[in-house]
Structure 1
Amino acid sequence: MTPMDMLLSRASTDHLKAPAPSEAQMAEVLAAAMRAPDHGKLRPWRYVIVKDDARPLLAKRIVASMVRLDPEAPEFKKEKRFNRFSTIPMTLVLGMHLRPEHKIPLWEQEMTVAAGAMNILNALHTLGFGAIWVSGDVVNDPVLAEELGFPAPHKLAGFLFIGTPDAPLPAPKRPDPVQFTATWQGEPVSFAADGKTP
């Protein structure tokens, strides 16, 4: 499989089982994250690895956050979140170490974190692991963020569930890039994806 074949075969999955990546493998994966574009070299990405007996502890914090944000959160939803966070082999907390006072805009700092996360997803795939990036309302809970090591102005960007796919990944069904691409020639462009003729 060529590197391009590898990139084009990546797909998100939460059907994950043990093993999770080893410490050495995660070091390699996170090294790939550091290759993300980083205007100003602010290095805003922060990663917290949660595995083994720490998983149910994180799951409890997630459910507590859900209740904080919505005291009437349905029981089934709380149980589902608890089960996912406590049973997935590894969770990688995506933190954003933000510097609002810096000349580099916050949105660029946040995009650097997102680019790092995408590098992680691709790196995991090349090593034979599966993953999915999840977020939800709890990523906006400043209390949860602080409990995980990200007091304001720092934030959460979500969580990566990581493990070994329990079945072969289906061929990703992706749209044709032509639908989302236009060539600019001096006038505003249009896109087929928006129902317009380029």
Structure 2
Amino acid sequence: MNISGWQTYLVTATSRSAGRTTPEVVAAALDGGVDVVQLRDKATSARERYETGLRVRELTTEAGVPLIVNDRIDLASAVDADGVHLGQSDLPVAVAREQLGEDAVVGVSASTVEQAESAEAAGADYLGVGAVYGTDSKDVSGDRDGIGVERIAAVADAVDLPVIGIGGIDASNAAPVVEAGATGVAALSAITAAEDPEVATAALRKAVTE
């Protein structure tokens, strides 16, 4: 799997989807060219996330796009996701590998160089680094004031893993994140809350590629 080719990364959140369901948002984002989808939806129950995950898995499989599950290794296994994304307080990378298999993609959130280096040493496949610009979203961990693109550059210089910038990113400010060394950017509200998630995804993708 070409993780270094992930330029646009959707993080789902039903609570920020303007009344739309997560599968509806995912379908639109896929039409807009998103490279990877992370099922987050922390505001819903495990059962609801499972049922949503099954539908999203159908959509991503049909589109040939990877599906990552946030935090929950068991849920990732249950919906046959391609991998899991772990926070600093979640189970270790080694446990995810043991439960999901060596071929599973394991991402780790990091906001400092030290956390990034530790994740790399533990065997992570990529890093989600942020919050870059700060965010009021409870669905995105990190400094609410933003760590800045300088931290993205420092992390990218310190590790050999693909770096995905996250937090307060949209089409208007994505370019500096990539210029600082990120291989791609993740978006939550910029896509899920957009009037047209497909158009928003396409605009984000254009900002990253250009």
Question: TM-score scaled by structure 1?
Answer: 0.26
The structure with the largest alpha-carbon Rg is 1
Question: TM-score scaled by structure 2?
Answer: 0.25
Which structure carries more relative contact order (alpha carbon 8 Å, separation 6+)? 1
